[in-house]
Amino acid sequence: MAGRDLDILDKFKPEEVDEMERKVMDEMSIFDFEIFNHRMQMIALEGKEVFLRLGATIAVLAADLNVAIYTRDGDMAVCAPGVWLHAVTGQIPAKYTLKHWMNDPTVGVRDGDIFYNTEPLYGATHTPDQIVFLPIFVDEELVAWAGAVAHQESGATDPLGMPPDAKNRYYEGMKIPPIKIGENFNLKADMTTMIENMVRDPRGVILDTKAKVAGCMRIRQRIRELAEEKDIAYVRGGLRKMIEEAAFAARRKIALYNDGVYQDIQFLDRVGLRNSLVRIVATLTKAGDQLTLDVTGSSPEALEASTNCFCQMPYGALAGYVLSYAFHDLPPSVGLIEAVDLIVPDGCLFNAGPDTPVSGGLAPAFILQIAIHNAFSKMIFDSTEMDVSCAAWGLLAGVHGVGGINQMGVQFANALPEINAPGSGGRSTGDGEDVAGAFFANCSDTEDVEAIELWNPLLYLYRRYLVDGHGFGKYRGGNGIDACYVVHNVPFMVEAVFSLASKIPCPGQGLFGGYAGNVLPGVRIRNSNIYEMLEGGGKSIPRNTRELLLNRTIEGKYSVSISSRTSSTLRSGDVFVYMAGGGAGYGDALEREPEKVLEDLRRGFITERTAREVYKVAIDLESMTVDEEETETQRGQEREKRLDESMSYEEFSAWWNQQKPREDLLRHYGPWPDAWPPDLDMGLPEGDEDDI
């Protein structure tokens, strides 16, 4: 294809420092630099706040976004998340524009230009993550770039923009490479009309696009004020110094860890709408102050489903972890990953071919971030950074997309905000946080029930903490959320779900003996009698999904399946459930303080069965007190049982190596058991349907 540049995704590392920038960096005092550094962070944060306050869709209002300042060469110098995943991937559209349009007489890059990108080949994590970016000129010299990105409806074959059954890139909506959509600080009507024409929610997409422009314009204003107060060289050199100082600080931290090889293997439980096992490997090799992340051993690309991504996603997953955990105390910039080399084989699901569908690439990227998280936690456990070692965050049952005509008669398409409600993992010093936010968007929000009902034709039956919905351990994972909706005030609505963790817990295993988080099925009730129940006072309406499924007081046609489902119609009164997972546990559950187990039971976080069978805590349910003597007896017996049932490592390996999933579940795995390199002659099983 003319203009397709498959090399641009190699441009994640910082560009070379020029002579003028080096001179400023060398002459800038530590005091001046700290002032500059803080000022840049505040400018980025101000741009984010402008974007947030002017945004129109749920994704923006829930802070599923990122705003960043880039050097004149397109390197990310500072960002204000939102979503860490976008922090480094947002560099690529600016670098593409510099490479292809800067000196093109038919396009050019001038003061007042506004650019736009939705193409994953050029930096969008997937098509719905739409990027606005603009150059910042001072006295006709390019000084920096400002960028803003958020998840919007993209005109794909489902309202979410992540069709799980996408067969190729052409199912996934508008894939717009970096183009100019505005000049002289004005959006061009022909370009915005083109975008409106390709999406289900033209109002929301364009309002959010304008909000992005406003956030970038505020950054431009502040950068120009600083350049006029100081000079252009000061701004350019300062931005470059932010990256270099971050790289130096990151290397200094890495040097504190023990040299070695640290690996974590996770699994994805479905490809598209199919139950299918996918292997995801993160191998960290640490030597001195240098790290290498190798994803070799991960499964091959899936040619007939969207569970793939391009190589910016491993960088995004890496940045998502290090910026929010390992290097959480350092100002975010691309310098924090400068010390990490990446090995991603061509043809694996993290480096798919250019025509492969990738709208579902968030799924393997999320699980890769979990694997990176666990490998890092093992690496830093025996270091001065031990307090950062923790189990992984919970994931989500699915990204729910809803669309149609809302109760005000307005066309809409939204992603529901419970995506931002998982719990964080148990820590080396205490429990995880409940409903902590999305692990890829630590500053995100779930929004108020009333606001969601106002914007969408939905009515909540409940929104509570999950029951037994987190990983157990000495320190439990944070609890996730359990929500139930009724389609309300409209004849019908379209729903689509892109999900994971219906069969295999993601975040996989806990750390150091902790339990995994929970699995999260998809639940629907069609043709329900919920309105009759509400009119009768609603006394028997369930309070959580456990009650909903066990008691079935709501009449109707129940469906319990994997969470993922392609676009389908729900009618007024139909009910569906949305859950976000709990974090993994940390440490042996038998070491948890009995009083903490009792408190979890009182709060409804766990059932009496979990207290009794997992934690081995004896509780008098009438007085709600712990029998400490009986608890010690039961825990002692459990430890003896473990010893009796234990086997040597050699015995375990011999047994384990005989285990193998059914062949129909290995369709996308690659050769068993190592997954990579793929066996090109392995063939694919017949049939396209799974029993659920």
DSSP string covering 91-102, please?
HHHHHHHHHHTT
Tell me what the mean pLDDT of segment 379-400 comes to: 85
Q: Please tell me the distance from the alpha carbon of residue 5 to that of residue 8, in angstroms, as a whole number.
A: 6
- The tokens for 122 are 């050029």
pLDDT at 692: 32
Nearest CA among 669, 596, 685 for reference residue 277: 669
- The tokens for 657 are 């190596």
pLDDT at 74: 97
| % of the chain beyond a pLDDT of 70 | 97
Q: How many CB atoms lie within 10 A of CB 206?
A: 18
pLDDT at 684: 43
| Structural contact between residues 482 and 579, judged by C-beta atoms closer than 8 angstroms | yes
pLDDT at 1: 41
pLDDT above 70 (res 686): no
pLDDT in tens, 33-83: 999 999 999 999 999 999 999 998 888 888 889 999 999 999 999 999 888
| Structural contact between residues 665 and 503, judged by C-beta atoms closer than 8 angstroms | no
CA-to-CA dists, residue 359 to 156, 166, 309, 383, angstroms? 9, 8, 8, 38
Q: Please tell me the distance from the alpha carbon of residue 66 to that of residue 47, in angstroms, as a whole number.
A: 10
pLDDT above 90 (res 512): yes
Strand order in the sheet with 65-71: 76-81, 65-71, 141-151, 129-138, 114-117, 179-183, 186-187
Q: Which helix (H) or strand (E) holds 682?
A: none
CA atoms within 13 A on the CB side of 393: 29
**Per-residue confidence band for 396, with pLDDT thresholds at 50, 70 and 90:** low
Which residues, in sequence order, are CB contacts of 556 under 8 Å at separation 6+?
525, 526, 527, 528, 529, 530, 574, 575
pLDDT at 483: 94
| Structural contact between residues 234 and 227, judged by C-beta atoms closer than 8 angstroms | yes
**Per-residue confidence band for 561, with pLDDT thresholds at 50, 70 and 90:** confident
Sign of the torsion angle spanned by Cα atoms 47, 49, 53, 55:
positive
Nearest CA among 563, 400, 585 for reference residue 494: 400
Q: Which helix (H) or strand (E) holds 442?
A: none
pLDDT at 638: 97
- Choose the weakest-confidence range: 124-128, 427-431, 554-558: 124-128
pLDDT above 60 (res 153): yes
Q: Please tell me the distance from the alpha carbon of residue 72 to that of residue 86, in angstroms, as a whole number.
A: 18
Helical H runs in 462-593? 530-535, 545-551
Listing DSSP states for 373-423 in one string gives: HHHHHHHHTTSTTGGG-BPPPP-BS-EEEEEEE-TTS-EEEEE-GGGG-PP
| % of the chain beyond a pLDDT of 90 | 69
Q: Please tell me the distance from the alpha carbon of residue 84 to that of residue 53, in angstroms, as a whole number.
A: 20
pLDDT in tens, 661-676: 999 999 999 999 999 9
pLDDT in tens, 76-135: 999 998 888 888 888 999 999 999 999 999 999 999 999 999 999 998 888 899 999 999
Q: What distance, in Å, lies between the first and last C-alpha atoms of the chain?
A: 40
